[in-house]
């Protein structure tokens, strides 16, 4: 039998979806994929159903670069309720313990400062991390608890902290792999009263700002008014996924050999690391590569012609 042909339109680009509360990331992805009638789509890191905000959706060739957005820094706005601990670390879980809250905003700010920089987090049993191939949250729902290795993450910035009664709101900029639920639980432990997340919004991911997000409802209205053309205009170029990487421009010959999978030389390359690659004569984004020890650039992910 021949290979089953994938249905849908061959779209290439990145949509900055504003995920709604109560929707899973995969559910939001599938709705966006259907709305665009796209042949291929993927997202760049799950948000909890309770969380809202930026969920970059990659269509077509953009899925080759989704890992780089998954690895990128993120910024969140979080509201925590102090004094109440839940099974899951958020408002979707059963209450485990309630304690009085007798901390001042100044004490909270001092406690938050302790989490700046590189820290260790023990992932929640209600995370999507896998243990022997099974997501931890599935084990947790069966009443199974397993040992979890601490993970090193970086908290770049915490700002705008405000305590109103028992509710604490702040913004946090952090590295990949950071669990905001775990951060809030650890903060509650430091404060001696416990705490859990009641609202979480991802404001940015990698190079993408909050202002460019769009909801599924807004997409639907645009499509009703202007069809595919109206919503296709919202897709960002593939190159934006690595917009903050060093850029290397290649001559036509080098671009040709790079497309054949061969490492090439370039005069304007950095000494090391990953780079975004362009054909100088056409300004065309070719993909990304890595600078080798001998100074050549090896292709790592290339856009298909």
| Rg over CA atoms, the chain | 22
CA angle 114, 119, 120 (to 5 degrees): 125
How many whole angstroms separate alpha carbon 241 and alpha carbon 46? Answer: 17
* Other Cβ atoms within 10 Å of 3 Cβ, number: 5
- Contact call for residues 195 and 85 (beta carbons, < 8 A): yes
Phi/psi class of residue 63: alpha, beta or left (left: φ > 0; alpha: ψ in -120 to 50)? alpha
DSSP 214: B
**For residues 286 and 278, is the Cβ–Cβ distance under 8 A?**
yes
Tell me the helices (H) and strands (E) count for the chain, helix number first. 7, 16
**Cβ atoms < 10 Å from Cβ of 149:** 8
- 48 part of the active site: yes
Structure tokens of 224?
Answer: 């009703």
The answer to whether 51 touches 30, Cβ cutoff 8 Å, is no
Catalytic residue among 18, 48, 90, 186: 48
Q: Looking at the annotation, which residues are catalytic?
A: 48
């Amino acid at each position: 039998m021949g290979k089953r042909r994938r249905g849908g339109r061959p779209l290439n680009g990145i949509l900055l979806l504003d995920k709604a509360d109560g929707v899973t990331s995969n559910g939001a992805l599938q709705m966006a994929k259907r709305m665009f009638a796209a042949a291929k789509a993927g997202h760049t890191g799950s948000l909890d159903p309770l969380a809202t905000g930026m969920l970059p959706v990659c269509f077509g060739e953009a899925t080759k670069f989704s890992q780089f957005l998954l690895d990128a820094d993120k910024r969140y706005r979080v509201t925590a309720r102090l004094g109440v601990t839940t099974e899951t670390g958020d408002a979707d879980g059963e209450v485990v313990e309630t304690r009085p809250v007798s901390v001042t905003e100044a004490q909270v700010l001092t406690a938050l400062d302790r989490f700046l920089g590189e820290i260790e987090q023990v992932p929640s049993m209600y995370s999507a991390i896998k243990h022997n191939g099974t997501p931890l949250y599935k084990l947790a729902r069966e009443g199974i608890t397993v040992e979890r290795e601490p993970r090193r993450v970086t908290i770049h910035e915490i700002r705008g902290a405000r305590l109103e009664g028992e509710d604490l709101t702040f913004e946090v900029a952090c590295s990949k792999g950071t669990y905001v639920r775990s951060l809030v639980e650890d903060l509650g432990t430091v404060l001696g009263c416990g705490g859990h997340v009641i609202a979480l919004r991802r404001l940015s991911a990698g190079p993408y700002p909050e202002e460019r997000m769009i909801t599924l409802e807004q997409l639907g209205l645009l499509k009703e008014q202007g069809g595919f053309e109206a919503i296709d205009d919202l897709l960002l170029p593939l190159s934006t996924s690595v917009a903050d990487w060093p850029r290397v421009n290649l001559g036509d010959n080098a671009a040709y050999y790079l497309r054949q999978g061969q490492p090439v030389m370039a005069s304007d390359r950095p000494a090391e690391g990953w780079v975004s690659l362009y054909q100088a004569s056409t300004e065309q984004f070719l993909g990304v590569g890595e600078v080798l020890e001998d100074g050549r650039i090896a292709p790592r992910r290339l856009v298909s012609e």
